[in-house]
């Protein structure tokens, strides 16, 4: 009886070079632990792609400043971080975000023993308090006019755009959540039609669909040939150039932003509005009608009612009404 010969599993091959994100030279020069912590922070610890992009940009700017001042990673001190933030040209909100990105990256560097102490831990940013958001609210009348301006007889693209604008206008959903909708996310639970949104933080949020929006969605899906059997496929699909046909590719939040801008221009409305303007419109409109703040908070998917209050534009209206009464 011959002896069993152990089989040695093949060694794992390195991933292709184009799949390995570039590590800044200042990080690579600090050693393997620093490179590991950098890759772990951006590729493993930040789930939201928008946050990852913003943090990567912030860190890139800071490390570029350090390189200009001939600072190695282990030589960075709290004073350096403080001086960098003092000369930062961004707004208070931007500087606050950039400092958070730098601080969190260095936290991970400490965990992986790439550096001994976090040089950004003791650096304090400027105080920043928000009582009202900067996103302009699209008035209810203009939102109605925008949707009514669409010539849905022109084909499936116009039907899609009406459905997208209707979802933005009647659900308070973020454009990113609208872009993530799949065919099965428009469903009937036995009593009513709903849209299931996948929001920030991994939260699933089912929102009832009002009757006119239900009709728009059903007309769009019928014209697009979208059936229940296409589970996992995007609900809203990109157009094939100017052909008037839809592809199998889903919309991105950037595509939705451009869609809104293009339709505003076609309707002769102000182009300062964005997809987020509809979210502000929904919150302000419901609060104006006397809907309790906690109900509006739930609809918007906010964890904190203070965030919902930032969307409330009623105070801005009162301010304009007040100054109009000043004698001149």
Q: Which CATH number fits domain 140-270: 3.40.50.1100, 3.30.365.10, 1.10.443.10, 2.120.10.30?
A: 1.10.443.10
Mean pLDDT for the stretch of residues 191-219 = 89
- In our burial notation (b when 16+ CB lie closer than 10 A, e otherwise), range 150-175 reads bebeeebbbbbbbbbbbbbbbbbbbb
Q: Which long-range contacts (CB under 8 A, 24 or more apart) does 258-263 make?
A: 259/161, 259/164, 260/165, 260/168, 263/146, 263/149, 263/150, 263/161, 263/165
pLDDT at 7 exceeding the cut of 60 = no
pTM of the model: 0.68
Q: Round to whole Å and give the CA distance between 307 and 302.
A: 7
72: how many CB neighbours lie within 10 A of its CB? 11
Question: Across all residues in the chain, what is the average pLDDT?
Answer: 88
Q: Residue 129's pLDDT is what?
A: 53
CA–CA separation, 175 and 164 (whole Å): 9
For the cut 70, the answer to whether the pLDDT of residue 316 exceeds it is no
What pLDDT score was predicted for residue 93? 86
The CA distance from 101 to 95, in Å, is 10
Query: What's the token pair of residue 91?
Result: 């707004």
Q: Do 22-111 and 140-270 show the same overall fold? A: no
Domain covering 22-111 in this structure, CATH number: 1.10.150
Yes or no: say if 120 and 78 are a contact pair by the CB < 8 Å rule.
yes
Task: Give dist(CA 291, CA 297) in Å, integer.
Answer: 10
What are the sequence ranges of the domains in the chain?
A: 22-111, 140-270
Residue 314 has a pLDDT of: 73
Average pLDDT over residues 295-299: 89
């Amino acid at each position: 009886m011959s002896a069993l010969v152990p089989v040695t599993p093949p060694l794992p091959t390195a991933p292709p070079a184009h799949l390995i994100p570039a590590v800044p030279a200042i990080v690579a020069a600090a050693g393997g632990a620093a490179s590991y912590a950098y890759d772990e922070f951006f590729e493993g610890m930040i789930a939201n792609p928008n946050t990852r992009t913003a943090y990567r940009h912030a860190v890139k700017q800071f490390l570029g400043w350090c390189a200009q001042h001939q600072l190695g990673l282990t030589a960075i001190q709290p004073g350096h971080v403080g001086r960098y933030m003092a000369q930062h040209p961004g707004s208070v909100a931007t500087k606050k975000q950039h400092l958070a990105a730098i601080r969190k990256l260095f936290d991970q560097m400490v965990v992986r023993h790439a550096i001994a102490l976090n040089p950004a831990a003791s650096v304090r940013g400027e105080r920043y308090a928000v009582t009202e958001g900067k996103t302009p609210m699209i008035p209810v009348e203009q939102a109605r006019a925008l949707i009514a301006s669409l010539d849905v007889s022109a084909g499936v693209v116009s039907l899609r755009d009406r459905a997208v604008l209707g979802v933005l206008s009647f659900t308070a959903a973020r454009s990113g959540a609208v872009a993530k909708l799949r065919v099965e996310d428009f469903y009937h639970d036995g009593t009513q039609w709903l849209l299931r949104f996948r929001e920030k933080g991994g939260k699933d949020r089912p929102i009832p669909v009002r009757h006119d929006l239900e009709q728009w969605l059903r007309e769009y899906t019928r014209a697009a040939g979208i059936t229940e059997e296409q589970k996992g496929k995007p609900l809203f699909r990109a157009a094939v150039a100017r052909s008037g046909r839809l592809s199998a590719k889903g919309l991105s939040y950037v595509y939705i932003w451009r869609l809104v801008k293009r339709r505003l221009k076609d309707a002769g409305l102000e182009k300062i509005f964005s997809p987020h303007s509809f979210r502000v419109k929904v919150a302000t409109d419901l609060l104006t009608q006397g809907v309790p703040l906690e109900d509006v908070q739930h609809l918007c998917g906010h964890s904190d009612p203070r965030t919902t209050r930032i969307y409330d534009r009623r105070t801005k209206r009162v301010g304009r009404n007040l100054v109009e009464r000043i004698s001149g």
